[in-house]
Structure 1
Amino acid sequence: MNLETIGKLLENVRKSNPLVHNMTNVVVTNFTANGLLALGASPVMAYAEQEVADMAKIAGALVLNMGTLNEREVKAMLIAGSSANRHQVPVLFDPVGAGATPYRTETAQKIVRELTLSLIRGNAAEIANVIGESWEIKGVDAGEAGGDVATLAKAAAQKLNTVVAITGKVDVISDGSRVYAIHNGHPILTKVTGTGCLLTSVMGAFAAVEKDVLAAGAAALVTYGVAAQLAAEKAAAEGPGSFQIQFLNALSTVTADDVHRLGAIEQTGL
């Protein structure tokens, strides 16, 4: 996986304008839609049981995000996910807050058990709790805890038979065999709600145009991180409000040349 390939995938996303079906939480819906539009994808938010199967089957990717849980939406997610599976549409899952409450953990594990997932993205605590390991979590945010994140990502990918991305100070992504570490991004991302949720949807846009899900996910992580760095150069000193606006602008204007200049990805020896 090299930076030239990542730049080409970014250009392909913009050329293809993939439809990304997002079943996400109420906190981040607007930001997610605007972020995908800025990148060059086409977002749709559909939640009703009566239409999610039809929407999922025509999408380039389906993104399931359990940030604000209720029984009705979980049922709709399973319907949409089953439809996507039948029609070979990649399904990405963001297990927001898994481990914070028994209901969240049980719901995440139910989705993982009942659907075929192409990619799961979360912080270390969320991923650990999905596979039944203990890791500190507070609310829907991971606490600082020990543990080898690269090893966790690889083990989770093997156990769940999917691609697993764990995001944090260094992002790690694995298909259970290969492991990549991405050293892009900026700390101010943690001061804007929904940046992780948007990232999962951006990964959906890349997965819609690239069948190698590990390559798609790694490309999305690098592109997203580079855009954050470009935005931070302009607005980090002004605070998260200004950064949020500049970040949307950067998602729209980040180029393959930017990726080649600033991208930082390495394959680990695991």
Structure 2
Amino acid sequence: MYILPRDVLVALERVVADLQEVGRDIKPESLRGATRYYIEKPGKMLRPILLLTFSYSLDRRSLMDPRVLQAATIVELLHIVSLLQDDVMDKHDERRGAKTPRVIYGDERTVLASDWLIAESIKRAVKLGEEVVEYLADVAQRLSMGQALDLEGEREKAAELKTAPLIEATLVLPALLLKRRDVLELAKRLGASLGVLYQYSDDMSDEGERRDKTAEVTAEVKNVLAKMREVIGEAFTPFENLVNEILKRALQASLTVARSFIP
């Protein structure tokens, strides 16, 4: 049975509390409302959950590390940036059954809100070191290229860039912060494959059609998962269980539409 470790849930509560303070003092009020909209209406927090659970599997004491908690906050902030920008580019009037910020505050303020959150993410990332800043800048550039490909109708190519880089970051950041260079390349491979599978699942839930490469990407996830277990050992079990749950939901096309990822 899929169960998140209690320590991960406690760490997640701290991340949520940190997020709730973001942008409280922004003026004018309209910009504050657009910036905090998805913070006040949080999703399933999958990216922080991935980062925290992977950190826990690498070193159970790491969840007490402020840098790990900060990294979890940053990946969620960048995810919110992607939601705001996606709403504007795709002209979404609703998301999760509610009006989008662009409908309430307008496209202009929604774009400005995404700019503010990018700046906030940079300020936080600087505290984690130059290597983290450079890596996250690369993630942001790849996300931009993915969005551009999606706008041009190159959906197959976009799947590898539109969503995957930020999910990749949820595994790469713990490897960098906890100095686990031995798992860095595997973390990149697993994170990228999970990200592509997430996008495929999203497409499948929208269109009801499975992508041709779904089986191939699933096999890659399982292959890298097995290699990681060889390196990390029994401590890898919590994260392995989480990934297996993601695989199950992705193949059922229920991953992206789920309201919560906490059992």
TM over 0.5: no
Report TM bin, short chain: 0.3 to 0.5
- TM-score w.r.t. the length of structure 1 is 0.33
Q: Going by fraction, where is strand more abundant, 1 or 2? A: 1
Which one has a bigger Cα radius of gyration? 2
Q: Going by fraction, where is helix more abundant, 1 or 2? A: 2
- TM-score w.r.t. the length of structure 2 is 0.33
